[in-house]
Chain A
Amino acid sequence: MVDGVWLWLTLFAIGSTTILTRGSFVLGGEGARLPPALQRALRYAPAAALSALIMPDLLLDAGAFDPANPKLAAGIVVALAAVRSRSPWLPFIAGMGVLLLLRKGLGW
């Protein structure tokens, strides 16, 4: 465990990456503009990034590929809820409900 003054140093080091990455081009100013083709390509960044964080959680179980796991089943329910309903809460309630039912109720 990193603790004491070292922990605070570590927290500032982690925080500096927040400013370095998010601030990079915003702080860089007008001189640092990306070419238009790259700009267009970058519109796909958020969808690709979100999915790159989501899919490993849904498809992997303890680091190994396993599509037959309760998180994927819950994830499908979340996707359906997000498509079908306007309620911001329903995907959370439905997703956690299914996951807890499968894990605790059925012991999957």
Chain B
Amino acid sequence: MNESFKRGAREGLTLMLPMSVGLLPWAIVTGVAMRSTGLSAVESLGMNLIVYAGTAQLGTLPLIAAGAPLWLIFVTALVLNLRFVIFSAALAPAFHGASWSKRLLSGYLLVDGLFVLCADRLLRSDDPHWRWGFYVAPAMLCWSMWQLGGLVGVLGAGVFPKDWSLEFMTTIALMVMLVPMVKQRAMLVAALVGGLGAVLLRGLPLRLGVIAGIALGIAAGFVAERWSEKRRQAW
């Protein structure tokens, strides 16, 4: 195996380890949620493998429970996953020269935490072997944690008391990802506008408020960055 692939893999794993621990409770919660919706153990594990996207899984469960039509479930999942188009576009240059099968695997494995932690350094490296190691190793770690946590949740669904508000672990996991990012002012603006936008626009159909909030947050972050640049130039 290539030396720089191994170096990339090692650095990626070191970077990802703490956050991948944060995936466990989230995966367990999702596992419990799938079972309590009425999916069998095999169906739940199948969903974890086929979908591998916590937000889309949790978001479509109520529709599955209600027997909603296939198209509505599909559109809802698509909307909940739309943020990945943004991540995919930002990351695409890092897969310059990669084979189609590597790209397909990379697409399937592209979760939020991976983008948050790895995108910056991936895009700055010009060594394709290092990039592949730095991407696929932490990606597989996240995948393994998700499947493992899901298995624990699915098999242990009956053990956890239902009134323990375990679903709040999802929000905690997302917060643990967000907090280190908002130390930069423009990022903080993007987060505040994105979050409050999603709250204020919650009335939009098909959960489009989340997407609209994200779009507003991105625009606000961009504008804030421009402003602080202009101020710096004026000084």
B176 touches A82 (CB 8 A): yes
A residues in contact (CB < 8 Å) with B = 1-3, 6-30, 32-34, 38-60, 63, 65, 71, 74-75, 78-79, 82-83, 88-89, 91-92, 95-96, 99-100, 103-104
B89 touches A25 (CB 8 A): yes
B residues in contact (CB < 8 Å) with A = 18-19, 21-22, 25, 38-39, 43, 46-47, 50-53, 55-57, 60, 64-68, 70, 73-74, 77-78, 80-93, 95-96, 100, 103-104, 106-110, 112, 115-116, 163-166, 168-182, 186-188, 190-199, 202, 209-210, 213-222, 225
A88 touches B198 (CB 8 A): no
A-B contact pairs, 22 of them (CB 8 A): A1-B38, A11-B51, A13-B74, A14-B77, A15-B51, A18-B84, A19-B108, A22-B88, A23-B107, A26-B107, A29-B92, A41-B221, A44-B218, A46-B112, A48-B214, A48-B220, A51-B217, A55-B194, A56-B198, A56-B202, A78-B172, A92-B22
Q: A88 → chain B, closest Cβ, in Å?
A: 5
Cβ 8 A contact of B175, one of A15, A54, A104:
A54
Report whether over half of chain B's contact residues are helix, strand or loop; otherwise say mixed: helix
> How many A-B contacts are there with CB distance less than 8 Å?
280
- List the 3 closest A-B pairs by CB distance, nearest first: A48-B217, A23-B107, A44-B221
Indicate whether A45 sits within 8 Å of B90 (C-beta atoms), given known contacts A14-B51, A52-B195, A88-B18.
yes
A50 touches B88 (CB 8 A): no
**Chain B neighbourhood of A50, CB < 8 A:** 112, 116, 174-175, 177-178, 181, 191
Instruction: Find the residue from A17, A59, A92, A100 having the highest chain B CB count within 10 A.
Output: A17
**Chain B neighbourhood of A8, CB < 8 A:** 43, 46
Give complex CA distance A57, B66 in Å.
22
Give complex CA distance A13, B67 in Å.
15
A51 touches B195 (CB 8 A): yes
B175 touches A91 (CB 8 A): yes
A42 touches B89 (CB 8 A): yes
Indicate whether A91 sits within 8 Å of B174 (C-beta atoms), given known contacts A1-B64, A48-B214, A50-B191.
no
Cβ 8 A contact of B90, one of A42, A74, A95, A103:
A42
A30 touches B96 (CB 8 A): yes
Give complex CA distance A82, B180 in Å.
8
**Chain B neighbourhood of A11, CB < 8 A:** 43, 46-47, 50-51
